[in-house]
Amino acid sequence: MEVEANTEAPRLTRLRAVKDMKRQMILDAARRVFEKDGLLGANMRAIANEAGYTASALYNHYASKEEIYGDLLSQSLDRLNDAVSADVPAKANTVQRIEHHALAFFDFYLHYPRELDLGFYLFQGMKPLGLTPELNDRLNARLREALSGVEEGLIALGCSKKTAAQETTALFGHCVGLLLLTHTGRIRMFGQDGRTLFTAYIKKLIQQVKK
């Protein structure tokens, strides 16, 4: 029995590794399909073809394209949170921590525009599609977590929780707007730089809060 147990564990580990590899291949294929067709235009058959699977084999791993999208976005948000929490100076004061978290958030999507695109595939015709309420809540929580350093810093500077939430929401909107202008090239029409404008916005916000 002990011999069987000793051989079973490695076998299960290998099976899990193979399954994880197959799921990642599907996710990589789905990303390419979503980039080309959007979430609304994509379908399980197209994703299966891109991944080199039959549609029936794909359903052994995922029940729907929305479930695939959820996994893709979850991975993206994990990378975002890692980027935002990385390299925070140990002796940074509250203002410096706010600036670090906000700019790290902006820089992640500045340097990886496809990650920003991924976050918008969910919206077609300005209506959110497809995700279950539970999955939607979980993904929103991960996005909110990436901005928690800003919100907590504003509270530390004296904002009420309500005001900190409002200002963090406004900062998020400002960030996304500047990123869209930057990635589409429209910001050149004004002769401006998105990161410079976002940095100025952060400084003005902090000055306003400290008054």
Q: What is the pTM of this model?
A: 0.85
The CB-side HSE value for 98 (13 A sphere, CA atoms) comes to 25
What is the signed CA dihedral for 114, 117, 122, 124, rounded to 10 degrees?
-140
Instruction: Determine the average pLDDT of the residues in 22-34.
Output: 93
| Chain centre distance of CA 120 | 10
Q: Check the CA dihedral 118-122-125-128 and report its sign.
A: negative
What is the CB neighbour count within 10 angstroms for residue 130? 17
Whole-angstrom Cα Rg for the chain: 21
Cα–Cα distance, 14 to 30 (Å, whole number): 24
Summarised one tens digit per residue, pLDDT across range 168-210 is 999 999 999 999 999 999 999 999 999 999 999 999 999 999 8
What is the CB neighbour count within 10 angstroms for residue 103? 17
3-state secondary structure of 29: helix
Summarised one tens digit per residue, pLDDT across range 128-171 is 556 778 888 888 899 999 999 999 999 999 999 999 999 999 99
Q: Which of 99, 108, 123 is nearest to 39 (CA)?
A: 123
| Domains present along the chain, CATH in parentheses | 1-62 (1.10.10.60), 64-210 (1.10.357.10)
